[in-house]
Structure formats: structure tokens, C-alpha cells
Amino acid sequence: MGGGSQQTVPGEPDSGKAKGVYTWEEVQSHCSRNDQWLVIDRKVYNITQWAKRHPGGFQVISYYAGEDATEAFTAFHPDPKFVQKFLKPLLIGELATTELSQDRDKNAAIVQDFETLRAQVEKRGLFRAQPLFFFLHLSHILLLEALGWLTVWMWGTGWIQTLVCSVFLATAQAQAGWLQHDFGHLSVFKKSSWNHLAHKFVIGHLKGASSNWWNHRHFRHHAKPNIFIKDPDINTLHLFVLGRTQPVEASSTKIVFLMFLSTHTVQLVIIRCLPLCYSTG
């Protein structure tokens, strides 16, 4: 099955030679930092050099080294034709016909269900954003911000005025958080540059945070949601320890406050900056 002798030079433009035919075992062996292959629609790509130049960041694409990245590729690239010019030079072959399309322990039925669901959602046009809605969304946030400022400016800083102002601003900030999320996903305008500009305004000027920081973390989250270490949104070792994996990771760190969650019980443990010791047996 192995097609190492048939493939073109990895990462170089198509030279016209026959491509390789690979098994999942061969693909999965290329998952180190300096040797990375992945699969998209059963085609095998060598992304070792490209990962360093990947616009979405090195980690996002490297998370799929040795794996099938079809679903993630589809979700992250709304214009597949545009990115084909970047994929073509990386193509080194395809999966053998005897190999499943899914890697490792993926359930083929579940994958098919998601593909069917996505096709239905696209057919109904649910992925097509309405710019007018987002304009009105932004307008009501700005209005709430203005009302909060006017409340203090016109009536001072008494307890009642402060409470009213807090309600205005808390609502505006919560709404701005979701609005920047949609702009950050580049899901509102057809042009990515417009989405980036709107995102920088909402998260930078209304929320006081960095759009680059948010993108760096959130794209990693969507690349491997709820996968420990890879998903930064569940990296809570310095506050909460969840499940069976995190306590082992936390055993060599100094944690002030821990919450252990198991299937049947919830235990709250308060310790005083002492190293934790767990049996890994």
C-alpha cells in the first residue's frame, strides 16, 4: 500500500509524477513537529513547511497532523476554491481504496450525520448572514453605551444613577461579546477584510481586548473543542481540575483552589499552595 517511491517531493509543486497511495498507519506516523501530514477528502498533504506560514496559525493546522482534517477544513475555509491553489503544491497522494475515510476512532455514521446536517443547513441558507441585522445589533450596543454615559453626565454618580448605568453597560458589553464573536469568525461580510475591520472595532474599542489574541485562542478552540491541552478554553488548571486527566497534569503544580468533578460526586478541596501528589497507577 505504501507509495513512498511514487510520490513527488513533499511540499513542492506538482512535477507531473505519480502520487503516492497511503494507509492510515503511514499517515499517522507523520505527526511530529518537523514531519506533518494530514488528510482532506481522502487526499494526503504534506504540511510540514506550510504550517509555519499558515494564516490561521501554526497550531491550528498542526493539531491535525496524522489525522483527517476534512471537517475542520470545510468549517474554517468558506471559499474552498480560493485555498485550492495553496493545497495543490502540498498534495503527495491519497488514501488507499481499502482505507476508511475516517481516522482513528471516528464513528463513520456520526460523520455522515454531520455531513447531512451541514448540507441541509446550507440548503436553507442558514449560513448566509444578514448585514442589516448586525448593523442594528451594533447600533443598539452603541445606544446603550451612550445612555450609560448620559446617565452619569446628566444626573451624577449617585447609587441609583450608578445602578442604572451599570445595567446599560453590562448589557452592552454582553451583546458586544457575541457581536465580536461573529465578526471574528468572518461570518458577516463576504469580504474577510470587512469582517476583520468590524471585529477590531467591536472587540478593541468596545470591549478593550485584542482581536489577534481572541482569534489565536478561539480558532484553536474550534480546531479541537474540549480536547485537553489543545483547547485553551478548558485550560483551567490554576482554578478548576476537571475529569480524570487534569488531576494528573496538576500533580506537579501549586494550585490554590481546586474543584474535582466526577460522574457521581462533586468534591471541593481547598489547599494552601502546596504541591499536589496523585497516584497515576
**Length of the chain as a residue count:** 281
pLDDT band at 233 (very low <50, low <70, confident <90, very high): confident
95-119 pLDDT tens trace: 999 998 888 778 888 888 988 998 9
Q: Which three cell numbers stand for residue 53?
A: 506560514
Confidence of residue 199 (pLDDT cuts 50, 70, 90): very high
Quick: pLDDT tens for 57-86. Answer: 888 999 999 999 998 898 888 777 888 888
Average pLDDT over residues 119-131: 90
Q: What pLDDT is stored for residue 40 in this prediction? A: 94
Which whole number is the average pLDDT over 186-215? 93
Residue 170 confidence (pLDDT) above 50:
yes
What percent of the chain has a predicted confidence (pLDDT) above 90? 50
Which pLDDT does position 230 carry in this prediction?
A: 87
The CATH class for the domain spanning 18-127 reads alpha beta
Q: How far is Cα 93 from Cα 70, in angstroms, rounded to an integer?
A: 15
Instruction: Please tell me the predicted confidence (pLDDT) of residue 166.
Output: 95
SS3 per-residue string spanning the chain: CCCCCCCCCCCCCCCCCCCEEECHHHHHCCEECCEEEEEECCEEEECCCHHHHCCCCHHHHHCCCCCECHHHHHHHCCCHHHHHHHHHHHEEEEECCCCCCCCCCCCHHHHHHHHHHHHHHHHCCCCCCCHHHHHHHHHHHHHHHHHHHHHHHHHCCCHHHHHHHHHHHHHHHHHHHHHHHHHHCCCCCCCHHHHHHHHHHHHHHHCCCCHHHHHHHHHHHHHCCCCCCCCHHHCCCCCCEECCCHHHHHCCCECCEEEEECCCCEEEEECCCCECCCCCC
Rounded mean pLDDT, 131-137: 95
Res 148 pLDDT > 90: yes
**pLDDT value for 18:** 54
Residue bearing the bigger pLDDT, 140 or 7: 140
pLDDT of residue 77: 85
- Label the pairing between strands 266-270 and 257-261: antiparallel
- Phi, psi dihedrals of residue 171, rounded to the nearest 5°: -65, -45
User: Is pLDDT above 70 for 131?
Assistant: yes
* Grid cell listed for 242: 476537571
Q: For residue 139, give the amino acid letter.
A: S
pLDDT given at position 143: 97
What is the pLDDT of the chain when averaged over all its residues? 82
Domain parsing of the chain, residue ranges: 18-127, 131-223, 236-275
Mean pLDDT of 235-246: 72
Asked if residues 248 and 278 have their Cβ atoms less than 8 Å apart, the reply is yes
Which three cell numbers mark 118? 451541514
